[in-house]
Structure 1
Amino acid sequence: MKLSVLDRSRTRTGVGHAEALRETVAFARAVEALGYHRFWVSEHHGVPGVAGSAPTVLAAAVAAATSRIRVGTGGVMLPNHRPLVVAEQFGVLDSLFPGRIDMGLGRSVGFTEPVRRALGRVDASSATSDGFEEQVGELLSYFADTAAVRAYPAPGRAVPAFVLATGAGAGVAARLGLPLVIGGFRGEEAMLSAIAGYRSSFRPSAWAAEPYVVVSLAVAVASTTEDAWRLLVPEAWSMAYSRTRGEFPALRAPEDILSLAMRPRERQYFEESLRGHVFGTPTEVAKALDGLRARTGADEVLVTTSTHDRAALLDSYRLLADLPAVGG
């Protein structure tokens, strides 16, 4: 089971957006040395605590700073872009870094109504309609050189495409014959059902001959279970804060968060945000990932962990990469 990384360029207390982007590039070099398979960056708009707003630009910087690891997006949100422009951007990336670029494609829109309006969306539902499948199909046609317009330098370039599953995304991936990236955002039962449906209805294509499943989740590894759990606390509090105040804050140290007098609703969201992740000692995490692989049949795990302490985060990824049962 291959191991890959998704980094959102999260800010931390005392560390702003510019430094967060530089840290992402440095982090990519570090995990490449550890043997990780892919390094993906994300797309967020108008989110104070996330610097990753232009994934193809950041992917170019990451690819230029590395030499082996695959680089891509997790993902480019197609409702925000014209497929022609996306094809041109990835055609340029693959021309500059041939054989190393991935297209992770999503359908999510802005986090708040003002951001959605700024992106040209009246509401969330207007951007998550069935048009996503047509957008993906149009994007792929530029690489296959079957579109009415040629998206230079995309024609003939074999850039792997992945569908990030939100809502009906698993069905889109199956019908178009693309690899699926899925997380337990609605609970493991829903995730397993989506994976089973994807595999049963998968149509082989020029992009993938058979189903390929990437499970996305946070994984934290440390010398003790408690230390691993504490790595998850900053992001969990950020999620709880966003659900009660409408914006993501910079990541705070876990000791600061655990000393807060949380309101009942904040406590509820905080505890919910800590569920569904894998954390513990190397032995505990190896066992948990073996179980995950057995339940999902995952071909790959996309690790999405963020935390306040960057050194501890890299130690976690180092310990994870050293697990013989899952390394790749």
Structure 2
Amino acid sequence: MATLSVLDLMMIGEGKTFADTLNEAVMLARHVEQHGLQRYWIAEHHDLPGIASSATTLLVSHLAAATRRLRVGAGGIMLPNHSPLMVAEQFATLDTLYPGRIDLGLGRAAGAAGPSIRALRGDASERDFEQDIGQLADYLLDNGRQPVRGIPGNHKVPLWLLGSSMYSADLAARLGLPYSFASHFAPHFLQQAVAHYRSNFQPSAVLDTPYVIVGANVIVADTEQEAQFQASSHFHWVNLLHQGRPGPLPRPQEGYLQRISEVERRGLKQAMAYSAVGDTRQVGDWLRHFIELTQADEVIIDARIHDPVARCRSYQLAAESLAG
């Protein structure tokens, strides 16, 4: 059976601070470690109100230091924003501090808008994503293929390719890397991309057979009514984003979906097609169907819940629903 993991955008809740977000992330990481989830990934974003995951490697270190066994990583680092050498140096250091527990997911999106891209990179010029991945791998392995060295020593940090398109599926297959598809917010090409990745996969030095993670929005509570109430924060934030008004994660509201327009509901349904909200039985049934549909090895869950206790319980119940 597929395993479950956590995807965290480090949302700052309405009425809360960045420090609250950091403390709540530690609370969640320790809780999911106790309940058997596989890994905890943080997604790099910039200049988005309410999302505080820009200093991704620092946050990875913060959560790894607060846990003992849980795999912690980036889901992902947006490689076009960074020098491959600098990313290698940071993750080689993380691997030395927390051996055998660090993951490095790589994406080619900016995770930011145009002005932010220029602020990050100095300009908005395109980079060769595949070439950057090769350089990064060389630096981590310390194999002498690059004119300079990263942190000395062979650092076997697992590289994951992240994506939401056929390009990422094809590249992951050619490079023989594990693949994570962002179906929690970009569902359109999920089945086509995963099928292409599996059928074209070429074994590599790091992976013999294909390995697929798929994303889903999953919010579980003791009752369906409570789950819908907690999920309203997630739906509300995404709806505001679609309107060009991102901000802090809103407090939950009773009957939120019933109060918005039909056009807004359709937009949410399309963007969040792979979402499960309900009690343990309902979500367990949905997860088993989703895993059967995708043949995924792992499901990574995005659950933007304002109440940190309810968020911890949601991930716990998701794990229990699948085990049951």
- Per the normalisation by structure 2, the TM-score is 0.91
Tell me which moved more, 169-178 or 268-277. 268-277
Change in CA separation of 1:138 and 1:295 when aligned onto 2, cut-off 3 Å = same
Q: Which position in structure 1 is the counterpart of 2:17?
A: 16
Distance, in Å, in 2 between the alignment partners of 1:221 and 1:114 is: 38
Distance, in Å, in 2 between the alignment partners of 1:68 and 1:320 is: 20
The 5 Å alignment of 1:5-84 reads 5-84=6-85
Q: Post-superposition shift, 1:6?
A: 1.1
Change in CA separation of 1:2 and 1:94 when aligned onto 2, cut-off 3 Å = same
**Conservation of the 8 A alpha-carbon contact between 1:165 and 1:182:** yes
Q: Post-superposition shift, 1:227?
A: 2.3
**Conservation of the 8 A alpha-carbon contact between 2:164 and 2:186:** no
The 5 Å alignment of 1:13-162 reads 13-120=14-121, 127=126, 131-146=128-143, 147-153=145-151, 155-162=153-160
Q: Post-superposition shift, 1:111?
A: 3.1
Tell me which moved more, 222-231 or 277-286. 222-231
The 5 Å alignment of 1:232-247 reads 232-245=231-244, 247=245
Tell me which moved more, 259-268 or 64-73. 259-268
Distance, in Å, in 2 between the alignment partners of 1:154 and 1:230 is: 51
The 5 Å alignment of 1:220-239 reads 220-239=219-238
**Conservation of the 8 A alpha-carbon contact between 2:217 and 2:272:** no
Q: Which position in structure 2 is the counterpart of 1:250?
A: 248
Change in CA separation of 1:207 and 1:259 when aligned onto 2, cut-off 3 Å = closer
Aligned length: 320
Q: Which residue identity does 2:304 align to in structure 1?
A: S
Indicate the percent of aligned positions where both proteins have the same amino acid. 38
Q: Post-superposition shift, 1:236?
A: 1.7
Q: Which position in structure 2 is the counterpart of 1:284?
A: 282
**Conservation of the 8 A alpha-carbon contact between 1:11 and 1:17:** yes
Unmatched 5+ stretches in structure 2:
none
Distance, in Å, in 2 between the alignment partners of 1:43 and 1:242 is: 17
Q: Which residue identity does 1:280 align to in structure 2?
A: G
Q: Which residue identity does 2:191 align to in structure 1?
A: L
Q: Which position in structure 1 is the counterpart of 2:177?
A: 178
Change in CA separation of 1:261 and 1:224 when aligned onto 2, cut-off 3 Å = closer
Q: Which residue identity does 1:133 align to in structure 2?
A: E
1:197 has 2:201 as partner: no
**Conservation of the 8 A alpha-carbon contact between 1:21 and 1:51:** no
Q: Post-superposition shift, 1:196?
A: 0.6
Change in CA separation of 1:57 and 1:67 when aligned onto 2, cut-off 3 Å = same
Distance, in Å, in 2 between the alignment partners of 1:177 and 1:155 is: 23
Q: Which residue identity does 2:181 align to in structure 1?
A: I
Distance, in Å, in 1 between the alignment partners of 2:230 and 2:132 is: 38
Distance, in Å, in 2 between the alignment partners of 1:100 and 1:61 is: 13
Distance, in Å, in 1 between the alignment partners of 2:164 and 2:66 is: 31
Q: Which position in structure 1 is the counterpart of 2:306?
A: 308
Q: Post-superposition shift, 1:3?
A: 1.1
Change in CA separation of 1:58 and 1:172 when aligned onto 2, cut-off 3 Å = same
Change in CA separation of 1:261 and 1:229 when aligned onto 2, cut-off 3 Å = closer
Q: Post-superposition shift, 1:150?
A: 4.9
Change in CA separation of 1:159 and 1:322 when aligned onto 2, cut-off 3 Å = same
Change in CA separation of 1:266 and 1:324 when aligned onto 2, cut-off 3 Å = closer
1:319 has 2:320 as partner: no
State the SS of the aligned residue for 2:134: helix
Deviations 1:261-303, CA, capped at 9 Å, x for gaps? 6567655544545532022221111111111111111111111
Distance, in Å, in 2 between the alignment partners of 1:61 and 1:187 is: 31
Q: Which position in structure 1 is the counterpart of 2:292?
A: 294
**Conservation of the 8 A alpha-carbon contact between 2:233 and 2:253:** no
Q: Which residue identity does 1:170 align to in structure 2?
A: A
Distance, in Å, in 2 between the alignment partners of 1:46 and 1:36 is: 30
Q: Which residue identity does 1:286 align to in structure 2?
A: G
The CA RMSD measured in Å over matched residues stands at 2.3
Distance, in Å, in 1 between the alignment partners of 2:273 and 2:208 is: 34
Deviations 1:147-182, CA, capped at 9 Å, x for gaps? 224543264111111011133111111111100001
